[in-house]
């Protein structure tokens, strides 16, 4: 479904966006592939990296806060992948108003522009931090999820636009990942750990991109797609990367959790399990939508990173890291 389509990616100069653009160019033949971001230097660097594909690629400078620019950029677009966000937890705690403007008001702008331009499919990237949020970043992503799901209720009968969400955990190789940080610091002989009990979900950046592509193909509007993901204990992660380093326990930072969740118990009433993912189906849509097949999850089911059944061993983490390093990530 991606051949001969016009696809726009917001925040496309980030880690996910670059990998998404690369994957689509390798696997499909889109009519146009639009890089939408506010960083002119990164766009220039992408133009050099993908110069063999400039007949397909378009580079639009713009900010999701700018409704008028989005209205223009979405003209003639079939599929939108919304990856733009302010994502650093501590930065969001210190700059809450800026985070709300991008993550919440920017999401509203995306919805209005998509409906105005009859975009067929819009999928928004979310995070495990949106589940029972304790930090501002997570709260803004929860609000963003709610906006995109509710966006389906604003679509008129003659408009084809559908909105869905993908929710996953930490991405190996992204700029905010702790893995590059640990790999840089291991030469010092010491690693800072916030709390030795901490656990996190992990997905490779290629896995995230492929999951988003799969979700776009399957989306019907109003659902949240959640991949099945392994987890790690932070101490095991540190030992896998730098087994000889000493650990400095520095305490949990503002807005951090010990464990993350991808599905909370109250969402289980509307969730089904499939082979490689869960689908949380919206109970609040005003229009009839075909539901996804799958096994109903148990009542009060939750999907959290402290579940030992999905925990990686140190050896498995090392295999994961070894696959990550050759991917071209600058550590």
pLDDT for 258 beyond 80: yes
How many CB atoms within 10 Å of residue 221?
A: 21
pLDDT digits (tens, 9 = 90+) for 36-65: 999 999 999 999 999 999 999 999 999 999
Q: Give the list of residues 6+ apart from residue 97 with CB closer than 8 angstroms, or none.
A: none
pLDDT for 327 beyond 50: no
Helices then strands, counting H and E runs in the chain, come out as 11, 17
80 touches 123 (CB < 8 A): yes
Coil/strand/helix, residue 234: helix
Going by pLDDT thresholds of 50, 70 and 90, the confidence category of residue 74 is very high
pLDDT digits (tens, 9 = 90+) for 82-134: 999 999 999 999 999 999 999 999 999 999 999 999 999 999 999 999 999 99
Percent of the residues in the chain that have a pLDDT greater than 70, as a whole number: 95
129 is catalytic: yes
Catalytic member of 121, 129, 141, 257: 129
Segment among 128-142, 170-184, 236-250, 267-281 with least mean pLDDT: 170-184
> Could you give the CA distance from residue 102 to residue 86 in angstroms, rounded to a whole number?
7
The mean per-residue pLDDT over the stretch 173-196 comes to 84
Residue 327 dihedral angles phi and psi, to the nearest 5°: -75, 5
pLDDT for 71 beyond 90: yes
Q: How far from 316 is each of 168, 171, 249, CA to CA, in Å?
A: 20, 16, 24
70 touches 119 (CB < 8 A): no
The candidate with the shortest Cα–Cα distance to 60, out of 89, 30, 76, 40, is 40
pLDDT, position 329: 42
The mean per-residue pLDDT over the stretch 12-30 comes to 96
Going by pLDDT thresholds of 50, 70 and 90, the confidence category of residue 162 is very high
How many CB atoms within 10 Å of residue 174?
A: 18
> Could you give the CA distance from residue 138 to residue 168 in angstroms, rounded to a whole number?
12
- Which H or E run includes 160? none
> Could you give the CA distance from residue 32 to residue 30 in angstroms, rounded to a whole number?
5
Tell me the average pLDDT of the chain. 92
Going by pLDDT thresholds of 50, 70 and 90, the confidence category of residue 139 is very high
Retrieve residue 224's tokens.
Answer: 């949240």
pLDDT, position 219: 96
> Could you give the CA distance from residue 241 to residue 138 in angstroms, rounded to a whole number?
28
How many CB atoms within 10 Å of residue 323?
A: 13
The mean per-residue pLDDT over the stretch 66-75 comes to 98
pLDDT, position 330: 39
> Could you give the CA distance from residue 236 to residue 80 in angstroms, rounded to a whole number?
38
pLDDT, position 176: 65
- Which residues pair with residue 164 across a beta bridge? 123
The mean per-residue pLDDT over the stretch 181-189 comes to 88
> Could you give the CA distance from residue 59 to residue 219 in angstroms, rounded to a whole number?
27
First vs last C-alpha separation in the chain = 36
Q: What is the DSSP letter of 132?
A: S
Going by pLDDT thresholds of 50, 70 and 90, the confidence category of residue 14 is very high
The candidate with the shortest Cα–Cα distance to 145, out of 263, 46, 232, 55, is 263
Domains and CATH numbers, the chain: 6-169+202-228+262-304 (3.40.50.720)
SS (H, E, C) 25-89: HHHCCCCEEEEEECCHHHHHHHHHHCHHHCCCEEEEECCCCCHHHHHHHCCCCCEEEECCCCCCH
């Amino acid at each position: 479904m991606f051949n001969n389509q016009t696809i726009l990616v917001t925040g496309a100069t980030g880690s996910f966006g670059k990998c998404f653009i690369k994957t689509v160019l390798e696997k499909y033949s889109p009519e146009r592939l639009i890089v939408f971001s506010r960083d002119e230097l990164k766009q220039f660097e992408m133009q050099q990296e993908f110069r063999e594909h400039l007949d397909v690629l378009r580079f639009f400078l713009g900010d999701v806060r700018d409704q008028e620019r989005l209205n223009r950029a979405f003209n003639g677009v079939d599929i939108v992948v919304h990856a733009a966000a302010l994502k650093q937890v501590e930065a969001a705690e210190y700059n809450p108003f800026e985070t709300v403007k991008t993550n919440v008001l920017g999401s509203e702008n995306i919805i209005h522009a998509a409906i105005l331009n009859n975009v067929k499919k819009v999928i928004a990237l979310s995070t495990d931090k949106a589940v029972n949020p304790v930090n501002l970043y997570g709260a803004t992503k929860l609000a963003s999820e709610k906006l995109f799901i509710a966006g389906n209720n604003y679509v008129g009968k003659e408009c084809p636009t559908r909105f869905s969400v993908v929710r996953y955990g930490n991405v190996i190789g992204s700029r905010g990942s702790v893995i590059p940080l640990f790999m840089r610091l291991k030469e010092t002989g010491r690693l800072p750990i916030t709390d030795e009990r901490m656990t996190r979900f992990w997905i490779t950046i290629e896995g995230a991109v492929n999951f988003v592509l799969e979700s776009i193909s399957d989306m019907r509007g109003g659902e949240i797609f959640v991949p099945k993901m392994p987890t790690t204990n932070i101490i095991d992660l540190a030992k896998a990367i730098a087994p000889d380093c000493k650990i400095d326990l520095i305490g949990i930072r503002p807005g951090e959790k010990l464990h993350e969740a991808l599905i909370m118990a109250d969402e289980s009433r509307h969730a089904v399990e499939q082979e490689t993912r869960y689908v949380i189906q919206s109970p609040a849509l005003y229009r009839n939508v075909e539901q996804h097949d799958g096994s109903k999850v148990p009542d009060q089911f939750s999907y959290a990173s402290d579940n030992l059944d999905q925990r990686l061993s140190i050896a498995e983490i090392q295999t994961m890291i070894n696959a990550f390093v050759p991917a071209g990530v600058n550590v």
